[in-house]
């Protein structure tokens, strides 16, 4: 079975871009299956930095076919700008395919994303403002506009006009904004249609054929388990299904093709935007982690909230994704700490639990039960073999494996492609 799903096991930014890039060497196809340009995946190769938002991270290898899958939401102007930037960096982008079923982010989605956040005030989600939520809402509400609609100007115009008949009064009467001009939008999107037309494909069929030929296919998750619309800390989530199950519906493949489900977890935890975060560190400790880990959003530049590894969340991610292995990133960031707290359980309303709480209220009230691990003083960013890590760092990795209940097969000690320590399952 040649399918591998790669999924974030925390609140995003675990290093999925780097992990995808690492695995893509041996892949034929890399598929993004959900989300849009709310994602920011950083890949650093030989000192050059690439920040990918819509384009799968596999694009950096000329032998890989990158695919924007059915479950994604696409802002076509942003996509073209991202492709142009990659071209300018000397990266060949000609192979990229876009699903005809993916939904388009339209101008009203971006506007409504920002307006809703403003209207929510203190209860806002802290979205990336890219129009993600409103686009998925329209998809499920059957008012969405899809990539395939770009192929038929008549249909596109009809759909835009129909949606704006409902949206313009909303913008004007509820939000006191100017109405949007259907004709101008159709004209703008017609230019995108011309540029994207050759890439639009039945990507589910393409991926199926690749799998049947025994080609290796990687499904690159964006966002993460705890941001999943069904399984995350709702309503402080994104509007898609980053979990492994989402890869199947989002790419249009059956479960029988999947062999590996790799979870990506930082050696600590970060979160951007609002919502519960039981192991969030006190500000001075968070500040130290933020500085050491350069924890600022790839997409919005916002400082990320920082805290300690939460193995309650990790075990939950292992369960809902069916993780078969774990890539622990950014271990180097913990160097020089005296002691490293790791949450092994939560205390909720006086009761200790090792399981993810059932309700959002319980998650809000969860107090982590910490076990303290010994730190190490050495800089580990140049280490190339797991056995050469300081003893305390090895103890830490072993503890993550044991507490998470998933074999750790890779450990990141720096942002570079080569700064990764690999370990076969079951061996040191």
Terminal-residue alpha carbon distance, the chain: 26
**# residues contacting Mg ion (CB under 5 A):** 3
Structure tokens at 366: 């969860």
Q: Does 36 bind ligand GDP (CB under 6 A)?
A: no
Taking the complex as a whole, the smallest distance from the CB of residue 132 to ligand IMO amounts, in Å, to 4
- Which among Mg ion, ligand IMO, ligand GDP, none contacts residue 107 (Cβ within 5 to 8 A by kind)? none
Q: Which stretch binds ligand IMO (CB under 6 A): 56-64, 74-82, 125-133, 375-383?
A: 125-133
Compare residues 241 and 335 and give the one whose CB is closer to ligand IMO: 241
- Residue 144 neighbours by CB distance under 10 Å: 21
The CB-side HSE value for 97 (13 A sphere, CA atoms) comes to 21
Please list the residues that pair with 5 across neighbouring strands: 219, 261
The three-point CA angle 108-111-117 to 5° equals 135
Q: Answer yes or no whether residue 272 interacts with ligand IMO by CB under 6 A.
A: yes
- CA dist 1 and 216 (Å) reads 9
The contacts found for 132-135 with CB under 8 angstroms, 24 or more apart, are 132/35, 132/36, 132/38, 132/73, 132/105, 132/238, 132/239, 132/240, 133/238, 133/239, 134/108, 134/109, 134/110, 135/36, 135/73, 135/103, 135/104, 135/105, 135/106, 135/109, 135/239
52 near ligand IMO (CB under 6 A): no
Catalytic residue among 41, 53, 103, 109: 41
User: Which of 3, 4, 9, 13 contacts ligand IMO by CB under 6 A?
Assistant: 13
Q: Is residue 127 at the binding interface for ligand IMO, with CB under 6 A as the rule?
A: yes
Q: Does 300 bind Mg ion (CB under 5 A)?
A: no
Does position 242 bind ligand GDP by CB under 6 A? no
Instruction: Give residues with Cβ within 8 angstroms of 349, minimum separation 6.
Output: 362, 365
Window of 12-20, 52-60, 350-358, 392-400 that interacts with Mg ion by CB under 5 A: 12-20
**Binding of ligand IMO by 243 (CB under 6 A):** no
* Residue 273 lies near ligand IMO (rule: CB under 6 A): yes
Is 58 an interacting residue with respect to ligand IMO (CB under 6 A)?
A: no
CB 238 within 8 A of CB 272: no
Kindly state whether residue 262 participates in binding ligand IMO, applying the rule CB under 6 A.
no
Query: Is 25 noted as a catalytic residue in this protein?
Result: no
- State whether residue 10 is helix, strand or coil: coil
72 neighbors 65 (Cβ within 8 angstroms) = no
Q: Does 13 bind Mg ion (CB under 5 A)?
A: yes
Residue 44 interacting with ligand GDP (CB under 6 A): yes
138 belongs to the binding site for ligand IMO (CB under 6 A): no
Region near ligand IMO per CB under 6 A, out of 70-78, 151-159, 220-228, 345-353: 220-228
Nearer to ligand GDP, 310 or 332 (CB): 332
- Cβ count near 371 (within 10 Å): 14
Interatomic CA distance for residues 193 and 205, integer angstroms? 22
Closest to ligand IMO by CB, 38 vs 409, is 38
Tokens of 413: 């000690």
Q: Which of ligand GDP, Mg ion, ligand IMO, none does residue 357 bind to, with CB < 5 to 8 Å depending on kind?
A: none
Contact residue for ligand GDP among 261, 330, 334, 368 (CB under 6 A): 330
Give least dist CB 133 to ligand IMO, A. Answer: 5
| Residue 200 DSSP SS3 | strand
d(CA 131, CA 371): 40
Structure-block tokens of residue 348 = 């909720």
Calpha distance 86→78 (Å, rounded): 12
Question: Binding of ligand IMO at residue 6 (CB under 6 A)?
Answer: no
- Rounded to the nearest whole angstrom, what is the least distance from the CB of residue 126 to Mg ion in the complex? 14
Q: Catalytic site residue 13?
A: yes
Regarding 132 and contact with ligand IMO (CB under 6 A), the answer is yes
Per-residue contact flags (x/-) with ligand GDP for residues 6 to 35, judged by CB under 6 A: --x---xxxxxxx-----------------
Q: Residues 113, 132: contact at Cβ < 8 Å?
A: yes
Cite the active site residues: 13, 41
Q: Which residues bind ligand GDP (CB under 6 A)?
A: 8, 12-18, 40-42, 44, 298, 329-330, 332-333, 412-415
Q: Which residues bind ligand IMO (CB under 6 A)?
A: 8, 12-13, 38-41, 125-128, 130, 132-133, 222-224, 227, 238-239, 272-273, 298
Q: Which residues bind Mg ion (CB under 5 A)?
A: 13, 40, 298
């Amino acid at each position: 079975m040649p399918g591998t799903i790669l999924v974030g096991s925390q609140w995003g930014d675990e290093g999925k871009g780097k992990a995808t890039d690492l695995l893509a060497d041996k892949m034929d196809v890399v598929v993004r299956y959900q989300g849009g340009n709310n994602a920011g995946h950083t890949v650093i190769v030989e000192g050059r930095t690439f920040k990918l938002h819509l384009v799968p991270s596999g694009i950096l290898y000329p032998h890989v076919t990158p695919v924007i899958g059915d479950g994604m939401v696409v802002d076509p102007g942003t996509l073209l700008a991202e492709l142009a930037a990659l071209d300018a960096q000397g990266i060949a982008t000609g192979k990229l395919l876009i699903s005809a079923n993916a939904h388009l982010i339209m101008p009203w989605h971006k506007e409504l994303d920002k307006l809703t956040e403003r209207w929510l005030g203190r209860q806002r989600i802290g979205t990336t403002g890219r129009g993600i939520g409103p686009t998925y809402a329209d998809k499920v509400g059957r008012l969405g506009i899809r990539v395939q609609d770009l192929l038929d100007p008549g249909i596109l115009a009809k759909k835009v006009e129909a949606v704006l008949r409902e949206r313009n009064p909303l913008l004007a009467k509820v939000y006191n904004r100017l109405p949007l001009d259907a004709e101008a939008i159709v004209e703008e999107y017609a230019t995108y249609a011309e540029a994207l037309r050759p890439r639009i494909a039945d990507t589910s069929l393409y991926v199926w054929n690749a799998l049947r030929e025994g080609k290796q296919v990687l499904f690159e998750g964006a966002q993460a388990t705890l941001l999943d619309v069904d399984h995350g800390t709702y309503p402080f989530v994104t509007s898609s299904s980053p979990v492994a199950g989402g890869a199947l519906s989002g790419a249009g493949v059956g479960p029988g093709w999947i062999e590996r489900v790799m979870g990506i977890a930082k050696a600590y935890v970060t979160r951007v935007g609002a919502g519960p975060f039981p192991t969030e560190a006190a500000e001075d400790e968070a500040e130290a982690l933020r500085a050491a880990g350069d924890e600022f959003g790839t997409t919005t530049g916002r400082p990320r909230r920082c805290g300690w590894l939460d193995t309650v969340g990790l075990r939950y991610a292992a369960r809902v994704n069916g993780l078969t292995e774990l890539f622990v990133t950014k271990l180097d960031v913990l160097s020089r700490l005296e002691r490293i707290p790791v949450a092994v359980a939560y205390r909720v309303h006086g009761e200790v639990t090792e399981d993810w709480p059932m309700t959002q209220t319980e998650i809000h009230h969860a107090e982590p039960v910490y076990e303290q691990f010994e730190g190490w003083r050495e800089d580990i960013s140049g280490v190339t073999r797991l056995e050469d890590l300081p003893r305390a760092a090895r103890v830490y990795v072993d503890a993550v494996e044991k507490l998470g209940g998933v074999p750790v097969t890779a450990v990141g000690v720096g942002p570079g492609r080569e700064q990764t320590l690999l370990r076969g399952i079951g061996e040191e």
